[in-house]
Amino acid sequence: MDDKNLMIRVLEWATSRDIFEFDELREALNLTENEESQLINLIHEKSILFHTSGNAAARMRRRESVKLFASAEDHFRLLEYQELKEARQSSKDANIKSLIAIGIAVVSTFISIVMSVASMSSDINVPDRVYQTLKNTNQSVLNELENIREAQIELNNKLEVKNVCLINSDPTSI
């Protein structure tokens, strides 16, 4: 919808006034002869604006005074037009924002991929404090395991000695 449209210009001008004459409308909108003729026909058919004069078309063509005013329907037409313009603008804004969001998602995906590949090919950097803690923990666990191994060997040796003693004595000789 073009803002230069005759109907829109008429509705915008007429709805901002209570009552006016056709001559005021014609001068305010700088109507061409063709536009003036179209508008007179629309007003006469009561497609736009409202008048109470009989034979208003002939009087407007003779440039006689004809009182006009915007009807409730004219106000609603203009309101619908304005809402349509706002809806189109909102739609354009939403499209732009969605494209920006999609762009950000694509860029973040590529950054994530690059970071993953980079982390797979780089050395692991463990902070010194964490490394020392892990080393101490591992050393204490290793010491515990060595103590357990020594105790196991000692127990195994005691068992072998008792087994040897038992085997060395002949149970059938009694």
Number of domains in the chain: 2
Q: Give me the sheet containing 50-51, strands edge to edge.
A: 20-21, 67-69, 50-51
pLDDT value of residue 2: 46
Last residue of a domain, one of 79, 97, 115: 79
Tell me the angle at which helices 6-15 and 33-44 cross, rounded to the nearest 10 degrees: 60
pTM greater than 0.75 = no
Range of the domain at 174: 128-174
From residue 96, how far is each of 3, 89, 99, 104 by CA, in Å? Answer: 23, 11, 5, 12
From residue 29, how far is each of 8, 14, 25, 118, 174 by CA, in Å? Answer: 11, 10, 6, 67, 140
Q: Is 111 inside any structural domain?
A: no
pLDDT value of residue 110: 94
pLDDT value of residue 1: 39
Q: Is 101 inside any structural domain?
A: no
Q: Is 15 inside any structural domain?
A: yes
In CATH, what number is assigned to the domain containing residue 16? 1.10.10
Q: Is 163 inside any structural domain?
A: yes
List 51's β-bridge partners, or say none: 68
Positions of the chain with pLDDT under 50:
1-2
pLDDT value of residue 171: 59
pLDDT value of residue 97: 95
pLDDT value of residue 19: 87
Are 10 and 75 part of one and the same domain?
Answer: yes
